[in-house]
Amino acid sequence: MIRLFAAIDMPENIRDDISEIYEAIPGARWTPENQLHLTLRFIGDVNEDAAQLIDNSLKTVKFAPFTMRLQSVGFFPPRKEPRVLWCGIAKNENLIRLQKHVERAVVLAGLPPAERKFSPHITVARLNGSPPQKLAGFMSANSLFKTEPFLVPEFCLYSSVLKRDGALHIKEAGYTLFEEC
């Protein structure tokens, strides 16, 4: 079995912008800079045959490159003990449309539709019992977080290997977005 997800990688300068807001928060495990991404569709565990069908289906996604920007910080879940810190995405209809194309391709490959509504974000830290006052300080200090717009030229298929200190993401395939779409 292979654990898969489709995602947009962050350019190096955007990863640098994100890692600049990292700070010492007890119980926070920060996402390594080289693993920062925006998940378009978590696929989960599939066998090799299903993985090949998914790859073939994702190759059929036709979409033009577009720009997007990160804006804001927050946490999940909103009304319970925070478990994830995230950077948000400025409103972007192209991103929403691309995600729908990816979702359709995954369903056409034989998987059930995603159970959760798409909530575009970059996970920057996983939390375990982090003090509320530290999180409030982080949120306040970064309330105006925003990056420059950046180009999204492709999306990727990743495998994810769970390890004791977090997941290791391995790029399995890239799908270039073309202007003529």
Q: How many domains does the chain contain in total?
A: 1
pLDDT tens across the length of the chain (181 residues): 999 999 999 999 999 999 999 999 999 999 999 999 999 999 999 999 999 999 999 999 999 999 999 999 999 998 899 999 999 999 999 999 999 999 999 999 999 999 999 999 999 999 999 999 999 999 999 999 999 999 999 999 999 998 887 788 999 999 999 976 5
Task: Check residue 180 and give its pLDDT.
Answer: 61
Distance CA 57, CA 43 (A): 13
Query: Does residue 106 lie in a domain region?
Result: yes
User: What token pair was written down for 167?
Assistant: 């997941």
User: How far apart, in whole angstroms, are the C-alpha atoms of residue 101 and residue 58?
Assistant: 9
Q: If you search the block for the tokens 């996983």, which residue do you land on?
A: 126
Structure letter (DSSP) for residue 11: P
Per-residue pLDDT, 92:
98
CATH of the domain at 168: 3.90.1140.10
Let me know if residue 66 belongs to a domain: yes
Active-site residue numbers? 37, 121
Please provide the DSSP assignment of 89-123 as one string: E---HHHHHHHHHHHHHHHHTTPPPPSSPP--EEE
Q: Is there a domain that residue 168 lies in? A: yes
Residue 54, domain extent: 2-176
Instruction: State which H helix or E strand residue 162 sits in.
Output: strand 154-163
SS3 25: coil
Instruction: Answer yes or no: is 181 within a domain.
Output: no
